[in-house]
Amino acid sequence: MHDLPVPIAVAVVAFVVAIASGRWLLVNDTPIDRLINRALGWDIAGMLAYGFAAWLGAATLAPRLFLGIGAMAMANVYGFTKLLDGADPGTAVQRQRKYDAVGGIAGTIVLACASVDLAGVPIDSIFDWDATAWAASQMFTAYSGLLMARACVRELRATQPTPQELLTYSALLVVGSYSFLASVISAVRTANGIPPDDPGLAWTIGTFATLASLTALIAVPLVIAVLARSGLDRAGRHCRRLRPLWQDLTAAVPEVVLFPDESSSSRQGAPESASRLYRMTVEIWDALLHLKQHAPDELPDLRADVSEQALRIAYAAQAKIDGRPPAVRQPRDDVGLGVGDRTAGLRYLRELAREWPKARARASADLRGERVR
């Protein structure tokens, strides 16, 4: 790692820290998310310890600190690969405790040996603990990479993946394959007498590039979460377009407004903007059903003309607000058309919302003039 130019190393570490911080705050709900975040946290701790030791001039201590602290990162990566490989998510917490215990023991042994060696005790004369620790790390990383690659190949072959799934599994396949091959090659280099903590510039660059690529990949859910929180995702944009229509219709028919817990329970686990959109569309459709009986007969029944639909709804809403009694007639279906397909229903509401300002203004002016007369 010490062969990598300092600005590049600092930039990669800063990027990982930024993504990890954001994920801890916004993307930490599922077992896989928590494992990824914990692995990133331990990786960052190991890199910072490495950098601090190197800055102090402890060139031999730095990689050992990274290895000892990184054992916990490897434990969480292993838990993630097991879930990806089909392990039961219901027992993920219990399994991870065991993996963490193994990682904690391994890391403690490495740090203890490093401390003893730093104190001048010739522990290397008993056994080559340094090479043994690196070899164990390389074997463990190779096995985790193999599990990851195998799981990705299975997922890519078993289903028709969406473009996002195709990108995700393909990227993870590259990461897993690289981890496997790099670890095997590193083990061969160690067996040939090359110091395990000196992988060379090429492998160091490859490792940092893989870390940066993997971090960019797992930043995708963070970007989605940020867009959802700021209302800039697809559902948030729909909400902004529907809001004027929704505000007027729920003002006319306030009894259709749902309690917050009802909407959240109906869309449990959905992003905030998706839950808000679901609630708004339900309330709009309910309001349209209530307003059918207030719709005037004199307006033409043009089901294909959304502008006429908007005008009928605006008249009905204003009549309801003015306290006019419902018309005594057979209900008509031209207000609030029932649309079974949710996508088509949302498209209809968006078209209605686009025509709504003009229809509302015309209905208000007409009824105001009628009241004056």
**pLDDT means over runs of 10, the chain (373 residues):** 56 76 77 84 86 80 85 90 84 90 91 80 71 82 88 80 74 81 78 62 55 65 61 71 86 79 42 76 86 66 67 81 65 46 78 85 69 42
What's the CA gap between 45 and 49, in Å, rounded?
A: 6
Structure tokens at 63: 């990689």
Structure tokens at 327: 């018309």
Task: Give the per-residue pLDDT at 208.
Answer: 57
Nearest to 222 by CA among 47, 83, 20, 5: 20
CB 283 within 8 A of CB 258: yes
Buried b (16+ CB within 10 A) or exposed e, 194-222: eebbebeeebbeebbeebbebbebbbebb
The pTM of this model reads 0.59
Q: How many CB atoms lie within 10 A of CB 244?
A: 13
Task: Give the per-residue pLDDT at 97.
Answer: 93
Task: Give the per-residue pLDDT at 261.
Answer: 47
SS3 6: helix
CB 162 within 8 A of CB 138: no
Q: How many CB atoms lie within 10 A of CB 342?
A: 10
Alpha helices (H) along 219-341: 220-229, 234-252, 260-266, 272-291, 306-321
Task: Give me the sign of the Cα torsion angle 2, 4, 6, 12.
Answer: negative
